[in-house]
């Protein structure tokens, strides 16, 4: 039956930024599909843990700040997941941050911090997870890209650069690792109602301009990513490699 391809029974997923927003919704979705979940975050993971456990799935909390991440740290994170939950089948690189300032005033710190969390840590964690996955000949890595993987945006220089880079490493890793049984793809959320867009949603000029351009007529919600992440984590997407899937209410069609 086709629906059986979407089941994640017996799988182990690691979701970064799992304490709230998009990461929390995707962690819960994977658990609803049958996976045990390791959640990595710098903030409290208690709410996510409670919801995952209520579904009868195991949850492993990993408190870690990706701003301080180096390659050896990412290897240790993966080792904790494998030891704590018995393996690692799915990685969702969701954690991210954003800084806003005019391009000619953008600070070096705001550049470095965003690139570290959104791009460097994502690559290093994918590398560490990929080494485990190739030993089993299968695995799913799902990156969270952005509309700014396709567009330039304004006032978000490091975020635009990092999310464009995210698209690049998604394709690069797919090119190298598909033959080893791994599927590396990305979801590109549109304008979502999360902490990262709080300032935009109260901006008297930007908020209505953004909403006017979205054919669906609304901002996205974290739950809007649940179907996409389960699909890309499951056997239903076994012939997808290097794809960047927009979940944007039609934003890119305009």
Other Cβ atoms within 10 Å of 64 Cβ, number: 19
191 in catalytic set: no
Torsional sign, CA 141, 146, 151, 152: negative
Task: Indicate the DSSP class of residue 245.
Answer: E
- The single residue of 159, 191, 231, 251 carrying the catalytic annotation is 159
Q: Residue 201 class from Cβ within 10 Å (0-12 exposed, 13-18 middle, 19+ buried)? A: middle
Distance CA 69, CA 60 (A): 19
Backbone angles phi, psi at 12, to 5 degrees: -120, 130
Torsional sign, CA 234, 239, 244, 250: negative
Active-site amino acid positions: 159
């Amino acid at each position: 039956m086709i629906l059986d391809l979407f089941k994640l029974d017996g799988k182990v997923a690691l979701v970064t930024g799992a304490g709230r927003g998009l990461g929390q919704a995707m962690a819960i979705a994977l658990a609803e599909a049958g996976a045990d979940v390791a959640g990595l975050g710098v903030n409290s993971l208690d709410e996510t843990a409670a919801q995952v456990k209520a579904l009868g799935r195991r949850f492993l909390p990993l408190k870690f700040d990706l701003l301080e991440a180096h390659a050896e740290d990412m290897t240790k994170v993966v080792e904790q997941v494998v030891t704590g939950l018995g393996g690692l089948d799915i990685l969702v690189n969701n954690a991210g941050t954003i800084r806003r300032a005019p391009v000619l005033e953008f600070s070096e710190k705001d550049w470095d911090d965003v690139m570290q969390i959104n791009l460097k840590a994502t690559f290093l964690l994918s590398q560490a997870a990929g080494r485990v996955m190739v030993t089993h000949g299968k695995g799913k890595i799902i990156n969270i890209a952005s509309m700014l993987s396709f567009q330039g945006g304004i006032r978000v220089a490091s975020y635009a650069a990092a999310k464009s880079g995210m698209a690049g490493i998604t394709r690069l890793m797919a090119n190298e690792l598909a033959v080893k049984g791994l599927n590396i793809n990305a979801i590109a959320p549109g304008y979502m109602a999360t902490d990262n867009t709080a300032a935009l949603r109260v901006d008297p000029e930007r908020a209505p301009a953004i909403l006017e351009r979205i054919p669906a007529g609304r901002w996205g919600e974290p739950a809007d990513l649940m179907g996409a992440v389960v699909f890309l984590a499951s056997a239903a997407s076994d012939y997808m490699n290097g794809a960047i899937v927009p979940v944007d209410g039609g934003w890119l069609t305009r």
